[in-house]
Structure 1
Amino acid sequence: MMGWYGGDAGWAMMTSMVLFWLVVIGVVVWAIVRLTPRRRLDDDPRAILDRRLASGEIDEAEYRSRIAALREGGRSPWQAAQDDE
């Protein structure tokens, strides 16, 4: 005899629905992890500046200024300029 909400088939429907949503959530998490860019561990400030200079994003004067600021270990000229505003 069939019970409330279909009897014996009810647990199978609920289990399949839970499995379906677990798979959907798993696929979404997998896609986000695979599609987002990862930060490389070797991205130290000097390497970033080297790449930016090589690609033409910054000129040699700005490169030298930022390298000097890194060597000083203190506040950089562009951070000080932002604080003055």
Structure 2
Amino acid sequence: MQTTFMEAISITLSSMAIVLATLALIAFILGSFKHLFKEEKPKAKAKPAVNKVVEENDEEKIVAALVTSIIAAEQAQHTNFHVRSIKRVK
């Protein structure tokens, strides 16, 4: 059985079209998973930030504030808070 060049091209193109259609269908199904199986994230309650001006030469209050903020950051779960620097506010 002899196949002509045009038949071979036709078979090749139809095979490539079938593969492309199958891949597009798989991509569509996988893309729809993020909409079908969407997880509802619990809304985190935002705590208001407290900014207080520290009096000058009040070292004990500064140390107490730093220690409590570090302890609070260590006890909190899923936080990305890191103390990078400490600056004196005048």
TM over 0.5: no
TM-score band w.r.t. shorter chain: 0.3 to 0.5
TM-score calculated relative to the size of structure 1 = 0.42
Q: Give the number of the structure with larger relative contact order, counting CA–CA contacts within 8 Å between residues 6 or more apart.
A: 2
**TM-score, scaled to structure 2:** 0.40
